[in-house]
Amino acid sequence: MQHTFGYARVSATDQNLATQVEDLTQAGCTHIFQEKVSGTRTHSLALDELLAAVREGDVVVVNRLARLGRNTIHTIQLVEDFNRRGVHFRALDLGIDSRTPAGKMIIGVFSSFNQYERENNRQKSLAGIELAKQQGKHLGRPAGRDAEKLAKVATALERGLSVAEIVTVTGISRASVKRYRQDIEMQNS
């Protein structure tokens, strides 16, 4: 059985959901998820409940497209998710209806913009990594061994200090001291 769900969310300037709820009721929504917290977080209780409730063939309606997501990228991602899941989407303010050819075209445009944004971000990241490499910066996880610390631990071990004493004297962590001690023992055997 197909359900028509509404989603209403307050904005920073309009904390009253009455107009949205009225529009969604007139649009035939049988259940309206109401978000009463504004902000920039992409996860919210009412939205998460809506996403868990919708099934293939259901319809999600918002009175204004800007009320769906927290920002443009989030909105596009949600519309793409609905499309992938076979959930129809309607935005009353723009006349977007994913069941119509024009609505499908707009969703296709949204998907194209989102793909462009992902690719653009990926290229920026790769360019930043390449620049860092050219500048001789170390990328990734820090090196596991520090020659200076290894030398301190070796000297302390030669003097007969215990692991606890080496930690106290050098300030090197207990795990690192044990690791350096193990490396030294392996080298000496």
Is residue 129 situated within a structural domain? Answer: no
Distance CA 51, CA 33 (A): 10
Q: What is the pLDDT of residue 187?
A: 83
Q: What is the pLDDT of residue 24?
A: 95
Distance CA 186, CA 180 (A): 10
Please state, as a whole number, how many other Cβ atoms lie within 10 Å of the Cβ of residue 53: 13
Is residue 130 situated within a structural domain? Answer: no
11 and 98 assigned to the same domain: yes
Regions of the chain with pLDDT less than 50: none
107 and 165 assigned to the same domain: no
**Domain boundaries, position 24:** 4-114
Bridge partners for 97 per DSSP = 90
Distance CA 45, CA 37 (A): 9
Q: Which of 11, 112, 125, 173 is catalytic?
A: 11
Q: What is the pLDDT of residue 21?
A: 92
Amino acid at 158: E
Q: What is the pLDDT of residue 38?
A: 61
* 3-state DSSP percent of the chain in helix, strand and coil, to 5: 55, 10, 35
Is residue 152 situated within a structural domain? Answer: yes
Is residue 122 situated within a structural domain? Answer: no
97 and 164 assigned to the same domain: no
94 and 182 assigned to the same domain: no
168 and 95 assigned to the same domain: no
44 catalytic? Reply is no
Is residue 38 situated within a structural domain? Answer: yes
Q: What is the pLDDT of residue 6?
A: 96
